[in-house]
Structure 1
Amino acid sequence: MVQLLSPEGERVPHPELDGIVDALSDEALRGLYRDLALVRRFDAEATALQRQGELGLWASLLGQEAAQVGSGRALRRQDYAFPTYREHGVAWCRGVDPVNLLGMFRGVNHGGWDPNEKNFHLYTIIIGAQTLHATGYAMGVQRDGDVGTGDEGRDTAVIAYFGDGATSQGDVSEALVFAGVNNSPVVFFCQNNQWAISEPNEKQTRAPLWHRARGFGFPGIRVDGNDVLAVYAVTKQALDAARTGQGPTFVEAFTYRMGAHTTSDDPTKYRVSAEVEVWKHRDPIERYKRWLTTTGKADADFFDAVDAEADELGGSVRERCLAMPDPEGPEMFRHVYAEEHPVTAREREWFEGYHASFEEEVAR
């Protein structure tokens, strides 16, 4: 497993990847910490909002911040990301307003951002389906001639995010087949957080997940998903390979889901607290903070400023979430199809008539 920072925050040398990390300025390194801290604070606020009845559901990323921020910051502007429903950290790195992530979970919109503006697709609820979308998009990029040109502003890579449980879905295997045989510029980024809802890894696979890439004819690699530097370096290397025409890579980010699968889940029913305690000592943010501190790249004033910014973000997210206007009922029938559809038209007509009947009762 590739690791550049030990759980104690000590630098682990790596001959192939050291140069990628060394190229980052101190400002960029501090920026990674800021990303990690603000994303965690946003996630905590969203969880609280759900518990207070302001969101219908929330999928927390607690413990997976380094996997998402490290990979998200490795993307170039023209690259395209296809998320699941938990990639709040990647969304942050792509410039999506955190409040826009809450709209779908609050039931007031269909996603809340323009995917083509941010090159960040809408959240995908169907497990594994986004890997096919990503592979198809990558094949299109390839056929458009935007791979291997040598132009850093043009050559494009695609990244597909999914969890360990999704690897059991047929869609993922089909995506791997198409990507392999077409040598498509796509990185399959699997966040192995050890639990597919309530099923542990040993009930999903007999081999490490990154080994699967071999069967489809392209490389796979396992990286410490709680090590933001290692994730950044490994993902950047894989994306560079995709952009230059070297085809796909399967990245398994070995991490841990500290919280519940979603706020409707109770993880105490299927995993022991001792396991969670072990992973608390591998916290990605504390690990990175220790390294920044011991190397003198960040001081107490910097961390205090980030904490203050995080609190400000939390308050802003809460205020703006509560201010989201409720849509009119018939809005749910819009955008289901690109054009008017007879089934949804009949359903909308019935719905409007049903609501009008209440107005008639009040009038009487």
Structure 2
Amino acid sequence: MSPQLTPIADTAQDLELSERILAPDGTRIANPRLDPFVADVAPEQLRGLLRDMTVLRRIDAEGIALQRQGQLGLWAPCNGQEATQIGTARALAAQDYVFPSYRETGVIFARGGYASDFVRAWRGEEGSSYDPRELRIAPVQIIIGAQTLHAVGYAMGIKHEGADEVAVTYFGDGASSQGDVNEAMVFAASYEVPVVFVCQNNHWAISEPVAVQSQFPIAGRAPGFGIPSVRVDGNDVLACMAAMRWALEHARAGKGPAFIEAVTYRMGPHTTADDPIRYRDPEEVESWRRRDPIARLEAHLRGLGAFGDEHAAEIGAAADAAARDLRAACLGMVTRPPLAVFDGVYAEPHTGLQRQRDEYAAYLAAFEGEA
């Protein structure tokens, strides 16, 4: 299933080199490689995927709004990447363990994250994470590509114990140029561990276009490490689900790692601290807007006669509820007093720590009385 190594000239060609099941207009396309992996997916499940993607987009929009209103320090949008995240995450087994980057809001959602789990880290509150044991997701990793090494280390433990698990790690096209990602693939292939690498190629590593990151499809790198790969249309939720099912089946069968490149597009900024207007062509953005993953699946369902006004209303209500819950969770958080950061550092009092505490208290006192 390795891709043909053809140079990337533009986004149109880039997309044509990807495996897909649903065309941008929602038409079903026969795909002998991927079809067997989603043969059991009925219209009811497709509506569930549509619901997930729609709710995720609303969560993402609310996160941006909360940041703009000063309630969050930062937010990493995932608008446009809903199919990649929901499609792959919904293919995972409950026991599988995920190692994400900072943009996998949809994976956290699909694994059962609570409203507060999406904002606690971006607000800088105590704990700053969800419960990794409950969701089976490692804490969000900010260091670019580092989570791939963590995933491979965990997968080595899976193999050692003979556990029925697969480690899954997500990263972007920019991270694929990091040494950590390549070192992780060396270890994964050498030890034949059950890990799936998911590269979300959203075309932009902040302001660096993917054509600079790689002159050839990123999925073509994996076979060089001895890792089979597949390149899919990341805006096709069925193709993403099928690719992940293939990869998980491969890894779970003891055949070692697998690699997925999902070709998608980051519709918004890299984070809310970024201004993509400074480096992106508006026509490029609009061309990808016409490939919207949510509109694509809805068009497919309507073509099947499996989606009507009542379904749209239910999904809209679910999205509204998710946004309300997210805002309420964010605004309801109680921030610890600043000096509490020193609590629990040591079991017994420590003179060095007390000195630091006093210095920080003096620093905070300097701001008293300011607006």
Shared fold, TM over 0.5: yes
3-state SS in 1 of match to 2:45: helix
**Deviation sequence 1:24-79 (CA, Å, 0-9, x none):** 23322211111000000000000011111111110000000000000000100000
In the alignment, does 2:26 pair up with 1:18?
Answer: no
Tell me the distance in 1 between the aligned counterparts of 2:166 and 2:33. 21
Q: 1:316 to 1:172 in 2, by over 3 A?
A: same
Query: 1:226 and 2:243 equivalent?
Result: no
1:108 aligns with 2:104: no
Instruction: Indicate whether 1:63 and 2:71 are aligned.
Output: no
Structure 2 stretches lacking a partner, 5+ long: 1-17
Cα gap change, 1:90 to 1:338, in 2 (>3 Å): farther
Match runs of 1:40-189 below 5 Å: 40-146=57-163, 155-189=164-198
| 2:299 aligns with one of 290, 313, 318 | 290
TM-score by length of 2: 0.90
Q: Using the alignment, how far apart are the partners of 1:343 and 1:216 within structure 2?
A: 52
Distance 2:182 2:176 in 1: 7
Distance verdict in 2 for CA 1:17–1:53, change over 3 Å: same
Residue 50 of structure 1 aligns with an amino acid whose one-letter code is Q
CA distance in 1, matches of 2:219, 2:92: 21
Comparing 102-111 with 68-77, greater Cα deviation is found at 102-111
Question: Counterparts of 1:184-333 in structure 2 under 5 Å?
Answer: 184-333=193-342
Provide the rounded CA distance (Å) in 2 between the counterparts of 1:53 and 1:177: 43
| One-letter code aligned to 1:17 | L
Displacement of 1:244 in angstroms is: 1.0
Quick check: 218-227 or 203-212, which moved more? Answer: 203-212
For the 8 Å contact 1:330–1:351, the answer to whether it is kept is no
- Distance of aligned partners of 1:166 and 1:296 in 2 relative to their CA distance in 1, 3 Å threshold: same
Question: Which amino acid is 1:57 matched to?
Answer: L
Quick one: which amino acid aligns to residue 203 of structure 1?
Answer: V
CA contact (8 A) 1:333 1:344 kept: no
Structure-2 separation of matches of 1:338 and 1:191: 41
Aligned residues of 1:330 and 1:348 also touching (Cα < 8 A): no
Q: Does 1:349 align with 2:357?
A: yes
1:11–1:246 distance in 2 versus 1, CA, 3 Å: same
When residues 80 and 331 of structure 1 are mapped into structure 2, their CA distance, relative to the original with a 3 A threshold, is farther
The answer as to whether partners of 1:85 and 1:123 remain within 8 angstroms in 2 is yes
1:340 and 1:93, CA in 2 relative to 1: closer, same or farther beyond 3 A?
farther
Aligned to 1:149: none
Residue 347 and residue 221 in structure 1: after superposition, are their counterparts in 2 closer, same or farther (change >3 A)?
A: farther
Name the structure 1 match of 2:53: 36
Partners of 1:247 and 1:343 in 2: CA distance: 51
Given residue 308 of structure 1, which amino acid in structure 2 is its aligned partner? A
1:332 is displaced (CA, Å) by: 3.2
Q: Is the 8 A contact 2:141 2:147 kept in 1?
A: yes
Mark the CA change 1:343 to 1:181 in structure 2 (over 3 Å): closer, same or farther.
farther
Contact 1:101 1:111 in 2 (8 A): no
Superposition CA RMSD, Å: 2.2
Residue 109 of structure 1 and its aligned partner are, at CA, apart by: 2.7
Counterpart CA distance in 2 for 1:172 and 1:340 is 40
Q: Number of residue pairs matched? A: 352
CA 1:247/1:354 → structure 2, altered by over 3 Å: closer, same or farther?
A: same
Q: Does the 8 Å CA contact 2:19/2:232 hold for their aligned counterparts?
A: yes
Partners in 1 of 2:352 and 2:140 — Cα distance? 23
Whole-Å separation in 1 of the counterparts to 2:155 and 2:352: 33
> How far apart are 1:331 and its partner, in Å?
3.7
Gaps of 5+ in 1: 147-154
In 1, the alpha carbon distance for the partners of 2:326 and 2:99 equals 24
In 2, the alpha carbon distance for the partners of 1:175 and 1:334 equals 36
1:268, CA displacement in angstroms?
Answer: 0.8
* Residues 294 and 163 of structure 1: CA distance in aligned 2, closer, same or farther (over 3 Å): same
SS of the aligned residue for 2:260 comes to strand
| 2:198 and 2:260 in contact (8 A); partners too | yes
Contact 2:126–2:335 (8 Å) recurs in 1: no
Deviation at 1:320, TM superposition (A): 2.0
How far apart, in 2, do the equivalents of 1:344 and 1:114 lie? 32
Question: More displaced, 106-115 or 71-80?
Answer: 106-115
Distance 1:166 1:197 in 2: 11
The equivalent residue for 1:150 is none
